[in-house]
Amino acid sequence: MTDLRQLIERQMDSAGNRLVLALEPLSEEEFFAANATGFSAAWTTGHLACVADLFSSWFNGQLLFSRDFHQVFNDTDAAEAGPVSKAVSSDVYPRPYLLLQFRLAVMKALDTLDAFDLARWDAPAPPDAPVGLRTGGEVWERLAVHADWHCGELAGSMPRFVGTYALNIVPHYFYRPRRG
C-alpha cells in the first residue's frame, strides 16, 4: 500500500517533470518575458526552487540557496497595489541555471521527505512554517501541489500554452470514456 511519503513524491515528481518538459521548447524570449500575470516562466522556476528549498529546510535545517536568491524568487513582503512584474534577467539567472536550481531543490526536498517520520504527520508544523500550515503533513501536502498550481498559472498566462495539454495535471489526448 502506498504511504503518504510515496504519494507526495509521486505528485512532486510528476508536476516537476511536467513543468520542465513544457518549458524546454520555450524560446529565451518566452521563458523570460513577463506574462499577463506579471510573472515569467523564469521567475516561476526560481520561485518553485526556493519554496522547495525553504519548506524542506524547516525539517532538515539546511538551505541550499543564498538569502539573495530567496529574496528575488520568494519575497513575501507586502507590496503596493498595482501591476506586478517578476520577470528576471537572463544575464543574472540563465535558464539552465534556474532549471538546475529547481531540480536540486526538489531532489533535496524529496531526500528530506524520505527521512520524515510519518508518525509526525499530524504533529505541529515546524516553528518557522506559516500559521496556515498547521502540521508537518500539511507542509508536505502544499509542497506536493505547489508546482501544479504554477503550471496552471503559466498555462493561463502564456500564449504558447493556450489550447494545449502541455501543463495539464492529467493530459488526456487518448482518453476514451467507458462505453455502456
Pull the grid cell for residue 77. 513582503
Residue percentage of the chain with pLDDT more than 70: 94
* 86-104 pLDDT per residue, tens: 767 788 899 999 999 999 9
* pLDDT of the residue at 83: 59
- Between CA 48 and CA 55 the distance in angstroms is 11
- Between CA 70 and CA 64 the distance in angstroms is 10
The b-or-e profile of 82-91 (16+ CB within 10 A means b, else e) is eeeebbbebe
Q: What count of other Cβ atoms lies within 10 Å of the Cβ of residue 34?
A: 17
Give the three-class secondary structure for 49: helix
Residue 60 · residue 112 · CB < 8 Å? yes
| Choices 3.40.50.300, 1.10.3720.10, 2.30.40.10, 1.20.120.450: CATH for 4-73+86-161 | 1.20.120.450
Q: Which residues contact 74 (CB under 8 A, 6 or more apart)?
A: 47, 50, 51, 54
* pLDDT of the residue at 25: 93
* 15-52 pLDDT per residue, tens: 999 999 999 999 999 999 998 888 899 999 999 999 99
